[in-house]
Amino acid sequence: MKAPDFQRGDRLRHVVFSGQFTPAMLSELAETADMIRLLSKSRGGQDFLRNLLSHRRAMLYFTQPSTRTFLSFMAACQILGITCNEVRDPSTSSETKGETRFDSIRMFSSYFDLIIMRSPVAKLAESCAYLMNDLERSGQRSVPLINAGSGADEHPTQALLDIYTLQRTFNFENPRDSPGGDKLERLRQMPGYGDLTKGLENKTYAFCGDIGRGRTVRSLAMLLAAYEGVRLVFISPDHPKLRIREDLKQRLADRGVPVYELDSFEAHLDGKPVIEQVDALYMTRVQKEHDDPEDAESMAAIDTLKYRLTPELVARMRLYTPILHPFPRDQHFGEIPPEVDDDPRAMYFRQARNGMWVRAALLAHVMDVDHAIARHFFET
């Protein structure tokens, strides 16, 4: 997979993997997202946004369960006036009559101007984006395609909202935005925050839980690797299915990113328990849907209690360290208990709402109306 295959000049044609985004593109997306969120505060701003793409239609092809990604993409489409239709249940599609997924996708491109797809099949979005490229080359109808999660492989738009949340946390102030709400303001007043370098650079980011099967971890780690001075810590059970996969480790090594593999919050980094040492913590759910029967015994032997972020652990974290989670969290596993939700560092609900703004910004980029938004923003 090569980023240029899915670009047209300096624009993204298809969004397939997180490595397509540079820090400069991420900053531009964050600026567009900030403008959309501010314009959305007024009726006039909402009307302007809704008129931008009211002549466009999107297909949301989600054949794997989703709450946040599906609904935030739908809300993002509505913000920009795009009409949405959906296929969520494959049993209602003609694939049950033997139609291939590629024929289905090609049909969508006949009726819609954009395809947003989630699938349990790894790399399906990538293959479909290549199909669109082939159609384009042969002069046939082809539309942009956005990967909303593929197998255990990639979830690039989740990584965009994770980055946007971190940008808002570590950018000290958003010149075009309101201060960011009480919670973010409280975080910015915390001891140690003022000593940080502005932006995402020069920080230690930790991921905890099911690292091996978490597509959000893979996509976000590759985006963070593009920033200077970043260290990545992966805290997971020492189990072949759960620890960081070799291919990701290699890609991070190729970028010169220091990677630390630890098996608990108490393991040491720089001579202290890692829980006390990180600048941002990304918790994840154990993805039981990917369990193989042959792993049942070895999985059952894992001391899962070690991977729950208890209020006692939160009390030992740096006072400014944001806690993120792509969600859903697992109420049975309890990787983040609800007692943590009111802590100013708990960013996960804010993170989910950020998904709507940054996905709207991404749609504006792909459908080429982001410059119109900026012009309107600065002229009014």
Q: Which residues bind ligand CP (CB under 6 A)?
A: 66-70, 149, 158, 326-328
- b/e string for 15-32 if b means 16 or more Cβ within 10 A? bbbbbbbebebbebbbbb
81 or 326: CB nearest ligand CP: 326
CA–CA gap between residue 116 and residue 82 (Å, rounded): 12
Q: Which residues pair with 331 in a beta bridge?
A: none
CA–CA gap between residue 373 and residue 361 (Å, rounded): 10
Strand-strand pairing, 272-273 and 268-269: antiparallel
Strand-strand pairing, 204-208 and 57-62: unpaired
Evaluate whether 364 touches 32 at the Cβ level (below 8 Å): yes
Catalytic entry in 57, 68, 106, 251? 68
CA–CA gap between residue 155 and residue 16 (Å, rounded): 8
Cβ 157 to ligand CP, closest distance in Å?
A: 9
Catalytic entry in 37, 56, 118, 285? 118
Q: 244: which DSSP letter?
A: P
Catalytic entry in 32, 63, 69, 284? 69
Cβ 65 to ligand CP, closest distance in Å?
A: 6
Biggest alpha carbon–alpha carbon distance for the chain: 63
Clarify whether 186 is annotated catalytic: no
- Total number of residues shown for the chain: 380
**Alpha helices by DSSP H, the chain:** 23-39, 43-52, 68-79, 101-111, 124-137, 156-170, 181-188, 215-224, 246-254, 296-300, 311-316, 348-366, 370-379
306 or 329: CB nearest ligand CP: 329
Clarify whether 371 is annotated catalytic: no
Q: Count of alpha carbons within 13 Å of 78, Cβ hemisphere only?
A: 9
Closest Cα partner for 148 from 60, 88, 30, 218? 60
Clarify whether 183 is annotated catalytic: no
Cβ 82 to ligand CP, closest distance in Å?
A: 19
39 or 217: CB nearest ligand CP: 217
Cβ 83 to ligand CP, closest distance in Å?
A: 21
* 3-state DSSP assignment of residue 43: helix
170 or 348: CB nearest ligand CP: 348
CA–CA gap between residue 326 and residue 158 (Å, rounded): 7
Catalytic entry in 2, 97, 137, 332? 97
Cβ 96 to ligand CP, closest distance in Å?
A: 24
Closest Cα partner for 63 from 166, 141, 3, 151? 151
Cβ 159 to ligand CP, closest distance in Å?
A: 10
Query: How far is the CA of 198 from the CAs of 34, 169, 228, 335, in angstroms?
Result: 18, 10, 12, 30
Query: How far is the CA of 159 from the CAs of 26, 37, 166, 243, in angstroms?
Result: 10, 19, 10, 19
Clarify whether 155 is annotated catalytic: yes
Clarify whether 272 is annotated catalytic: no
Cβ 333 to ligand CP, closest distance in Å?
A: 16
Catalytic entry in 13, 155, 218, 245? 155
| Active site residue ranges | 68-69, 97, 118, 155
